[in-house]
Amino acid sequence: MTNAGAPSESWVERAVERSAAVQRSRLRIAQHVGQMLDAARRLIATKGDQFTTQELVAEAGVALQTFYRYFASKDELLLALIGDAMTEACERWTQAASGRTDPLDRLRFYITSTLERLDGDRQDSALAKFVVSTRWRLHRQFPNELAEAEKPFIDLLRTEVERAIGMGLLNPSDPEWDSWFLGELVRSVYHFYAFADDSRDELKLVKENLWNFCLTALGGTPQFAKGVEQ
């Protein structure tokens, strides 16, 4: 009996090394992209989106050719930044709502939490203004990519809408479309108040009214939301 079918040790070693090289390459890419996104956040806090690619790479500590290895333009990086911020926010909200057992409670939390950044620190406020001022320009260039970047929030809403329907708490006409409309409404309110001169008390009232409107639009009533934290 021979070992003809078994790979030689040298080929096994090469395959292992190739796999390790791929992992190192992935880690290097993640590190470079992370450095550039972090640098963009810092620049946005002081300059909005009015920074150059040269300023970005200098802030990130990478070469210009490294930037163009991953992004065709500054706008592509800004699109990635919006998508990254949305994914991080949805993960943070999901974790924060993990102890809430009522789907309406979670839905209300997700909808009103979008406005929390407007009442945050200077960097949060700068990022909110950046998203609003940059989004429509990016939408003209990358409509499909932008929709994909914003999809995690719509999916978050849709999941809770479906759960509430299953419990007889909501009765929307079309769960898929209604979840999308909900996301568009929330974004519009966010865009308005990102630049509005509002007080903390006014923002609290806006959150309450926004939730009540969304609850009614989805076919819910206040008595269904008795356990929802106000």
Rounded Cα distance, 99 and 112, in Å: 17
Q: Which residue has the tokens 């395959």?
A: 15
Q: Which portions of the chain are predicted below pLDDT 50?
A: 1, 226-227, 229-230
Q: What is the mean pLDDT of the chain?
A: 85
Rounded Cα distance, 165 and 41, in Å: 39
**CATH 1.10.10.60 is right for the domain spanning 10-71:** yes
Q: How many CB atoms lie within 10 A of CB 221?
A: 11
The predicted pLDDT at position 135 comes to 87
Sign of CA pseudo-dihedral 68, 70, 75, 81: negative
The predicted pLDDT at position 185 comes to 95
Tell me the pTM: 0.78
Could you give phi then psi for residue 199, rounded to 5 degrees?
A: -95, 165
Closest by CA to 51, choosing from 77, 82, 83, 88, is 77
The CATH code belonging to domain 73-225 is: 1.10.357.10
Q: Where are the domains of the chain?
A: 10-71, 73-225
- Answer whether 81's CB lies under 8 Å from 41's CB: yes
